Amino acid sequence: MITHAATATFDRVALDCGTTLENVDIAYETYGELNSAKSNAILTLHAFSGDAHAAGEGGWWEKMIGPGKAFDTDRYFVICSNVLGGCRGSTGPGSINPKTGCPWGMRFPAVTIADMVRLQKMLIDSLGISRLLAVAGGSMGGMQALEWAVSYPDQVAAALPIAATARHSAQQIAFNEVGRQAIMADPDWNHGDYYSGRPPARGLAVARMIGHITYMSDESMRQKFGRRLRAPDQFEVESYLQYRGSRFVDRFDANSYIYITRAMDSFDLTERGALSSLFDGIKTRFLVISFTSDWLYPSYQSQEIVSALRSRNCDVAYCNLESHYGHDAFLVEAEEQTALIRGFLTSTHA
Amino acid sequence: MITHAATATFDRVALDCGTTLENVDIAYETYGELNSAKSNAILTLHAFSGDAHAAGEGGWWEKMIGPGKAFDTDRYFVICSNVLGGCRGSTGPGSINPKTGCPWGMRFPAVTIADMVRLQKMLIDSLGISRLLAVAGGSMGGMQALEWAVSYPDQVAAALPIAATARHSAQQIAFNEVGRQAIMADPDWNHGDYYSGRPPARGLAVARMIGHITYMSDESMRQKFGRRLRAPDQFEVESYLQYRGSRFVDRFDANSYIYITRAMDSFDLTERGALSSLFDGIKTRFLVISFTSDWLYPSYQSQEIVSALRSRNCDVAYCNLESHYGHDAFLVEAEEQTALIRGFLTSTHA
């Protein structure tokens, strides 16, 4: 599999909040080869804590992207970029504000899912690709896939929103808010200005622990941990969460946590009109996937999208896959997703 | 309704951990009058953050205890005490260690649900009551009701475990652990020694916010908050959680949070044998109640208890009440609970 890692820089990008951000980096990787017609490009879109490294060792969608896999790099040119506001090579609150020479911190402008997609569109244009064969992602990646289809319907032959929603519910906002509050309660956060000192590691760890619980299911936690003890007075699930929380700070910036979760919470396609009206006349094909045990992005949220698409006679396939892995299923359940996605992509033509 | 508030003090109580605690206070309230046969006493048992003030203005089960209510104080003598390890008048980590003259802090011995019940039994004995008409409570209160029935079956005519479980699952432990970690991440916690300074208010607030989300349901949060804004960049659900979190510190001690959640997590009736074998020969009548939208103490946990009781031919009534209030339903859904409980108690005789 031919792999490239690169960073593109744009002079400016206009944001939904009204600000224009200058000197904007977008880190991305590509897998496979773009064909001469430039008609085999698939943009994969990462979830909240993901990055541009989607395939190959340690890639967040390693199970799904590669030769012979769901997103078959022998056939497709697969692209993945780090989102705007992130901390893995794309411009975000940890980047240097060119006007001050200091890190942005909480002075970074608010970003939206639509802003992330606007920058991705600039990247795709710069690669000379006028139309994507598909946009695909799980969780926040699925929200971006929906945004792509609604904002650039003529540039997207197919969209695959997986374990996603057209808008965050009060419960989804609430879990994100507790994570943000945990970070902001850490004195080391210092209102976001910690880049020359200690990061708010304890607050970020607590936020990550909450996240992990919501990504799993009651059943998958029972199977993985049950009530097994790690030490006489410590359950295995406790040490697992503590470990995962404490490690997160090594690869993630607390301010990006705040900015990206706010982008997710503010996402609401229905603010622009009834969901069905947004899909009016869209030629993009859809494959919508949800998972039975996903209680963070429950199946009814995917079914709302499917109903809206069907009401406008759009081309949509939907599957509510049986799984006990909870929200993590989009990362873990490779076999059934592969069968569905391979068949769907084979019948999709740019 | 005749109401009494009092504190009983015992010279010593033996704990499961092997320690004997001395000079132990238990704060309690009573409502109504004990009859001459002392056969109309009902012990109500509070949940994690409750206290002895169950009935009357601001009482945690105000809807359920009083004249003509489910626990009818015209007929029954209703008792409620603050749990051992608590911070509302009973001995806990914020109490003074008589041997040192200083607050216990994290040097307080570990307590269990069985320890809490052992102290309650001493209180009941001291009131001259040899047999309770009923023990009743929701959530951790339901766990205590189960413990009473298993440990003192001859002293309990009826048990009402509501929205409860015979053992915490990995997911329940995980949510409690994140709350503990949020408290311990707050520098003001100072390993539990904060009684002469500032309490870990920010950590405790984050812990409480997590709790609130788990007590509600996706649906009840949608109905109560939806995506309504409180300010241009703040959702109502965010300000609600922040407010409830920040207020909690006024009435709750962070170390009690740690001790009581650990008691809940360590509770596992099945450690003493198969659940059914524990109910062998028990004459206590049971009314088990769960709620359809309670995802923190899901109905299957109540159904495990019911199955075990039925397998031993125990007298058990079970109802999975339709509600969208989530775990909070046991506090909120007065009407249907009242009908069930009133009928059940009327046919119960000490």
ipTM: 0.96
pLDDT tens across the length of chain A (350 residues): 999 999 999 999 999 999 999 999 999 999 999 999 999 999 999 999 999 999 999 999 999 999 999 999 999 999 999 999 999 999 999 999 999 999 999 999 999 999 999 999 999 999 999 999 999 999 999 999 999 999 999 999 999 999 999 999 999 999 999 999 999 999 999 999 999 999 999 999 999 999 999 999 999 999 999 999 999 999 999 999 999 999 999 999 999 999 999 999 999 999 999 999 999 999 999 999 999 999 999 999 999 999 999 999 999 999 999 999 999 999 999 999 999 999 999 999 98
Torsion of CA B140, B210, B263, B302, to 10 degrees: 40
Decide if B202 and A185 are in contact by the 8 Å CB cutoff: yes
Chain A: residues touching B (Cβ < 8 Å)? 110, 167-171, 173-175, 177-178, 181-182, 185-187, 202-203, 205-206, 209-210, 212-213, 216-218, 221-222, 224-227, 233, 235, 237-238, 241-242, 245, 265, 268, 295, 298
pTM, to two decimals: 0.97
* Three-state secondary structure of chain A: CCEEEEEEEEEEEECCCCCEEEEEEEEEEEECCCCCCCCCEEEEECCCCCCCCCCCCCCCCCCCEECCCCEECCCCEEEEECCCCCCCCCCCCCCECCCCCCECHHHCCCCCHHHHHHHHHHHHHHCCCCCEEEEEEECHHHHHHHHHHHHCHHHEEEEEEECCCCECCHHHHHHHHHHHHHHHCCHHHHHHCCCCCCCCHHHHHHHHHHHHHHHCCHHHHHHHCCCCEEECCEEHHHHHHHHHHHHHCCCCCHHHHHHHHHHHHHCEHHHHCCHHHHCCCCCCEEEEEEECCCCCCCHHHHHHHHHHHHHCCCCEEEEEECCCCHHHHHHHCHHHHHHHHHHHHHCCCC
Nearest Cα residue in chain A from B180: A206
What rounded mean pLDDT belongs to chain B? 97
Respond yes or no: is residue A139 known to be catalytic. Answer: yes
Domains and CATH numbers, chain A: 3-168+269-346 (3.40.50.1820), 171-265 (1.10.1740.110)
Catalytic residue among B115, B253, B294, B328: B294
The answer to whether A177 contacts B209, with C-beta atoms less than 8 Å apart, is yes
Q: Which contiguous run of DSSP H or E holds residue B49?
A: none
Q: Is A294 a catalytic residue?
A: yes
pLDDT score of B259: 98
pLDDT tier at B350, thresholds 50, 70, 90: confident
Partners of residue B110 in chain A, C-beta under 8 Å = 233
- Per the CB < 8 A criterion, the answer to whether B3 and B30 are in contact is yes
Select from A174, A218, A268 the Cβ nearest to the Cβ of B169: A218
- The verdict on a CB contact (< 8 Å) between A237 and B205 is no
Report CB contact under 8 Å: A185, B181.
no
A209 with B167: Cβ contact below 8 A: no
| Residues B170, A227: C-beta atoms closer than 8 Å | yes
Q: What's the pLDDT at A350? A: 80
Residue B139 a catalytic site member: yes
What is the mean predicted confidence (pLDDT) over B224-234? 96
Catalytic residue among B46, B53, B168, B327: B327
